[in-house]
A and B are shown apart, each in its own frame.
Chain A
Amino acid sequence: MDEVVFLSGLLAAGIRLAAPIALAAIGETLSQRVGVINVGIEGIMLVGAFIAVLLAVQSGSPWIGLLGAILAGIAMASLHAYFVVTLKTEQIVTGIALLFLGLGLSGYGYRLTLGELGAAVKVPGFRELDILGLADLPVIGPILFGQHALVYLAVASAIAMAWMFRATRLGVIIKAVGETPAAADSAGIHVDRVRFLCVLAAGGFAGAGGAFLSTAHLWGFVENMTAGRGFLAIACVVFARWNPVLAVLVALVFGIADAAQIRLQSIFPAVPYQFFVIAPYVVAIVSLAVGSRSSRMPAALGLPFAKPR
């Protein structure tokens, strides 16, 4: 029975750790499907995490914090969109700039505002839900019914996005813009407008992922608290072959790897803990090496679209 409890706890923790990665990965899937790679989502997540804490403290509601984080994510993404879609700059370089901008803005902003108050700040964070009072069920309770609201929202939006890609004309348009923008253009679609809006939406998801980190997973902001999760999200997108539901599942694998390494540290105290900390990143590298062989990325990914003269 001990093993079952251990596994149940591991899974529940894995889901908590996976949620911010999953949220960012859902957004990045949308962005890449439309042909824009954003390697700066790490920076967007950091700004989201900071804004969520700031607004939650000031308003007393984590929901206000979440809303602020989403809007901040959209604002950051609009910068990316303006550069890569409108000015047609190199997407990777612009994304890296965005990463450092987010890193600096969030760290500096925190020191200017809440950091001065020291550790005394009390952050009103999200609590796990208890759906239908079933969270106390043995084993499956904490996994299925005792998660944060954002976890359910993430799963729902991934499924909604998959449905959108498959069944709606909007999905067809997005796929066409990321695959053959010239064809979309000749069909009367404003390629750059579609790209711009999708990049904004992706920013909102990354902001929400940051908010989850600082108001649900932990209650507080620490500089560079994302620790590479934005990049793991990009790995999820590629490994999941640009499918939002698969991206959530891959994020779950990373999350479980992360949860496992924390537990393994206490089981094997003799092994230096750094070996365990790298576990999720090793999983990411191995999975990319194995998975990328058969994956086919959107044909116009990373390429700006120039209308014929």
Chain B
Amino acid sequence: MTETGSVPLVALRGVTKRFGDVVANRAVDLEIGRGEVIALVGENGAGKSTIVNMLSGVFPPDEGTIEIDGAATGFTGPAASVEAGIGVVHQHYMLVPTLTALDNIALQASELGLWKIDRRALGDRAGAVAEALGFRFDRDQRIDSLDVAHQQRIEIIKALIHEVRLLVLDEPTAVLGADDKARLFDTISGLKRQGVSVVLITHKLEDIFAVADRAVILRNGAVAADLPVKDLSPETIVTHMVGSDAEARSELEIQPETVHPEHPVGEAVCRVRDVTLRRPNGSVAVSGLSLDLHAGEIVAVAGVDGNGQSEFVHCLAGLQRPDEGEIDCLGLNSRARTWSPARLRRAGVSHIPEDRRHSGIVAEMTLAKNYLLSHLDRPDVFRLGLLRNHHLGQVVDGLLNAFKVRAPGSGALMKTLSGGNQQKIVLARELDGDPKLILATHPSRGLDLNTIAFVHKTLEQTRDAGKAILLLSSDIDEILKIADRIIVFAGGRTFGPAPCRDLTRQTIGAWIAGHEDIEA
């Protein structure tokens, strides 16, 4: 076959994939041209990751074919996909944390054989790839000592160490701050100039407009729209994503900068005084932190990940104590022996953890039992020390309804739910039972637009009901949308707290970068 421009690099023809009764992809047709950047968008469960897994040879399609250079290809496994010139950066990085960056690259480089690794030659090869991308590459760093942005760069180098014609990036921007995101987009543009095709999977509209040539929008496993980006507006994309479901769209309403109405603020539930927090490795993450949290307000904590935000939330949840300074929260003091997660929970602190899969849910347990984890003190679900399963089921079913969780019922296993529905359950669980202070860490990370809108609305309603909410977020839009005040952690110190309505996006951006306000 001749190499003509009309033959796409990779094409999916009528690809269908089922898992049991669930159809993940339905007759998907998708063509990827050479040097083209395609944004693959859709809500959680729209079938994006299934396409990635088929392209990377993790599993084959049930029906239809994948063509490369016009020839039908049956991948026998991930190695065959690499051979065909497809590199994938998975959403959950496929890196071995205890190995060095270079060894992680060696893992994938099957051409090295099984015996002695020529680390110098491989390091030079990886270094050349890194240089072409404009990355700094420290070959001997262990992966677990790198932040997510650096880990992602190692993943990209790992993918590009082989000759790659198509690079698939699965939700690459979900965990990146603004700077790193901009750098990633530069990288993508650079690859495009070299003739590499890129498939960018994303939830975020801004990503599409930043780099993509064409947007392919998936809905319920099928292609809902396949259009050049220049013909698209945010509204049309949203329409294609959520379909004609009027209720879903009404919840979405993309408002420009919302005007912040005055909220009556109640008394302080939590006082933080001159707190110093250290990272697990002992370095000071933030010092001189003072903050009051009042009933009826949402206070956002912003900053690049790793500047002490996680440690701060851990302190308030009772998982650790401040290294210096003290916290008074709902009658408990951080220096007292009573500063424990159980006591704080009983006093009314609830915690929506940062890493849902790790510390938010137990995937192997039912929804009802997952609910119970935070409500073991609830008197009505026990009788004579025995669990009243039926009653618990009714309670949880009620919550599933109230939070519009798509689940068969309270007896379903947590792992059978999509990420968005799992997050809704965590939210439902933590907001139930009259908490006074809610620690919401990245409550909308990795969720689709509908669920994000739902989370925001719920948090606002909770605030209006007179609760104090601490919102940890790296998304400035989210903060400006729902928070009343903001405090920024950057470079070991804090900026603010200041009311959001007095601040411009530029000021917050400058704070996050560690500068005082940029004078006009």
A residues apposed to B, CB below 8 Å:
167-170, 172-173, 175-176, 179-180, 182-189, 299, 307-309
Contact = CB atoms under 8 A, between A and B. Distances in A.
B53 interface: yes
Interface string B99-128: 100011011111011111100000000000
B108 A187 contact: yes
Interface string B134-146: 0000000000000
Contact of B94 (A169, A182, A307): A182
Q: For A169, A170, A185, which residue has the most chain B Cβ atoms within 10 angstroms? A: A169
Given A186-B56, A187-B107, A189-B107, A176 B96 contact: yes
B342 interface: no
Contacts of B94: 180, 182-183, 186-187
A188 B108 CA distance: 7
Interface stretch (B77-85, B216-224, B324-332, B370-378): B77-85
A172 B110 contact: no
Given A186-B58, A187-B78, A308-B58, A173 B114 contact: yes
Contacts of A189: 107
Given A309-B19, A309-B59, A176 B115 contact: no
Given A173-B107, A309-B59, A180 B82 contact: no
Contacts of B110: 187-188
Q: For B96, B97, B104, B113, which residue has the most chain A Cβ atoms within 10 angstroms? A: B96
Contacts of A185: 78
Contacts of B112: 169
A176 B116 CA distance: 16
B115 A169 contact: yes
A169 B106 contact: yes
Interface of B: 19, 53, 56, 58-59, 77-80, 82, 88, 90, 92-99, 103-104, 106-110, 112-117
A17 to B, nearest CB: 33
Nearest to B108: A187
Given A179-B97, A186-B58, A299-B97, 12 more contacts: A169-B113, A172-B103, A176-B104, A179-B98, A180-B96, A180-B97, A183-B93, A183-B104, A184-B96, A186-B88, A188-B77, A308-B59
Contacts, number: 78
B474 to A, nearest CB: 25
A173 B94 CA distance: 13
B519 to A, nearest CB: 48
Contacts of B79: 188
12 contacts: A167-B117, A169-B113, A175-B98, A176-B96, A176-B107, A179-B96, A180-B96, A186-B58, A188-B79, A189-B107, A299-B97, A309-B19
Contacts of B107: 169, 172-173, 176, 183-184, 187, 189
B117 A186 contact: no
Contacts of A182: 92, 94
Nearest to B98: A179
Contact of B106 (A172, A179, A180, A299): A172
Contact of A168 (B53, B90, B93, B116): B116
Contacts of A170: 114-115
Given A176-B96, A186-B78, A169 B19 contact: no
A168 B117 contact: yes
Nearest to B20: A309
Contacts of A169: 106-107, 109, 112-117
Q: For B19, B112, B114, which residue has the most chain A Cβ atoms within 10 angstroms? A: B114
A258 to B, nearest CB: 34
Q: For A167, A180, A183, A189, which residue has the most chain B Cβ atoms within 10 angstroms? A: A183
Contacts of B53: 308
Contacts of A180: 94-97
B90 A175 contact: no
A179 B143 CA distance: 12
A247 to B, nearest CB: 18
Contacts of B95: 180, 183
A188 B83 CA distance: 10
A183 B144 CA distance: 14
Contacts of B59: 308-309
Contacts of A186: 56, 58, 78, 88, 90, 94
B56 A175 contact: no
B1 to A, nearest CB: 27
Contacts of A175: 96, 98-99, 103
Closest 4 CB pairs of A and B: A188-B79, A187-B108, A183-B94, A186-B94
Contacts of A176: 96, 99, 104, 107
B473 to A, nearest CB: 28
A168 B103 CA distance: 10
Contacts of B117: 167-169, 172
B58 A179 contact: no
A186 to B, nearest CB: 4
Contacts of B114: 168-170, 173
A180 B143 CA distance: 12
Nearest to A164: B115
A174 to B, nearest CB: 10
A180 B92 CA distance: 12
A170 B56 CA distance: 23
Contacts of B88: 186
Nearest to B117: A169
A183 B59 CA distance: 15
